[in-house]
Amino acid sequence: MIKIEDLAVTFRTDHGDVHAVKNVSIHVAEGEFYTLLGPSGCGKTTTLRCLAGLERPTAGRILLNGETVFDGARGITVPTHQRDIAMVFQSYAIWPHLTVFENVAFPLREMRPRVQDAEIKDRVARSLELVQLTGYDERPAPFLSGGQQQRLALARAICRESPVVLLDEPLSNLDAKLRAETRLELRSLVKRLGMTAVYVTHDQTEALTMADRVAVMNSGEIVQESPPREIYQKPISRFVASFIGQINFLEGEIKEKGVVDTPAGKLRYVDKDGPEPGTKVTVAIRPENLFPDTKGASQDANLLDGIVEEVIFLGGILECTVKTGSAQLTMQLHPAHGPEPGAGVTLRVQPDDVNILRK
């Protein structure tokens, strides 16, 4: 459905060149909800703008539904209005001088061949209903709450009935509660309409909960692309591991295939074409994958003896810092099973949960 190949964008500024996007390749399947996740300035918006035809790439190719809309080498650029895509901007871009109805109707009025008035009315009504803004038609757009404005921006994108929708941090202006409510609503709306979505965010929870696949970006490059679970459980680099969720890092050295030496002790891991013995690596373990050992637990687990240093109550979980060897590891526990500071504890971690990172 969407193919981006070797995309590069370089901005020329007074202070030199900014390589905003470097060699990005993305394939998004029809009906897929694809998320670009990364820190501020990593090139997410620029990539999206290239798809929409609002930014001219320096090099690469972009195909939408089989049609080449940009090809740097062949000098092809299809202008924005000829690309059948809808976009929700980072800053909503709602027209303050127009009513809710006219905001949604605007892109339809611009379409060629012309859309009849009766159909415009119909499609606007349907879009407003989908985002639960029925009855707000005549209200001036600025007299909506932040959440309602966000839904208005969404309605405007939906009413074009384009097969592709690009969303640039559409929930970032909402308060935490509304954001959580809107996440799944938005995903199911896009799925129900059968749209292919590229969704940009710097919020890990949004990426994990909404996406079919996540591409993590850093400095203009995609550093990992996987389903959310894999991104979380099997990060390939220190950057990805620390960008998503909490994690313990240990400096290690591969002792033999499947065994790594760390300041916390020797740990067995599942070796799949991993680094050779002698290689210096980073070992990453999620706090929820560390357990206090109980008798009869699985025999192939790693066991580490330690002392509980600190116990922090976080409501639904307890966060315990445990000193083991010369390392400190954070473990998350159910509050009912909290050890006291100073207590001895044996930590258990499965080899499959010991991640070996090269970078």
Residue ranges binding ligand ATP (CB under 6 A): 11, 13, 18, 20, 38, 40-46, 90, 202
Which residue, 120 or 200, is less far from Mg ion as judged by CB? 200
Q: In whole angstroms, what is the distance from residue 251 CA to residue 24 CA?
A: 31
Place of tokens 């979505």: 197
Closest approach of Mg ion to the CB of residue 283, in Å: 33
Which residue, 101 or 199, is less far from Mg ion as judged by CB? 199
Q: In whole angstroms, what is the distance from residue 298 CA to residue 348 CA?
A: 9
Which residue, 40 or 299, is less far from ligand ATP as judged by CB? 40
Give me 329's structure tokens.
């590891």
Closest approach of ligand ATP to the CB of residue 209, in Å: 19
Q: Which of the choices ligand ATP, Mg ion, none does residue 187 contact, using the CB cut-off of 5 to 8 A by kind? A: none
Q: In whole angstroms, what is the distance from residue 137 CA to residue 117 CA?
A: 15
Q: Which of the choices ligand ATP, Mg ion, none does residue 265 contact, using the CB cut-off of 5 to 8 A by kind? A: none
Q: Which of the choices ligand ATP, Mg ion, none does residue 43 contact, using the CB cut-off of 5 to 8 A by kind? A: ligand ATP
Which residue, 18 or 317, is less far from ligand ATP as judged by CB? 18
Cα distances from 139 to residues 182, 218, 262, 287, in angstroms, run: 22, 41, 63, 49
Q: In whole angstroms, what is the distance from residue 149 CA to residue 143 CA?
A: 9
Q: How many CB atoms within 10 Å of residue 128?
A: 23
Closest approach of ligand ATP to the CB of residue 294, in Å: 44
Q: Which of the choices Mg ion, ligand ATP, none does residue 286 contact, using the CB cut-off of 5 to 8 A by kind? A: none
Closest approach of Mg ion to the CB of residue 54, in Å: 12
Closest approach of Mg ion to the CB of residue 45, in Å: 3
Which residue, 45 or 350, is less far from Mg ion as judged by CB? 45
CB 354 within 8 A of CB 302: yes
Q: In whole angstroms, what is the distance from residue 33 CA to residue 198 CA?
A: 6
Which residue, 40 or 298, is less far from ligand ATP as judged by CB? 40
Q: Is the dihedral of CA 156, 24, 229, 283 positive or negative?
A: negative
167: left (phi over 0), alpha (psi -120 to 50) or beta: beta
Q: Which of the choices ligand ATP, Mg ion, none does residue 42 contact, using the CB cut-off of 5 to 8 A by kind? A: ligand ATP
Closest approach of ligand ATP to the CB of residue 76, in Å: 22
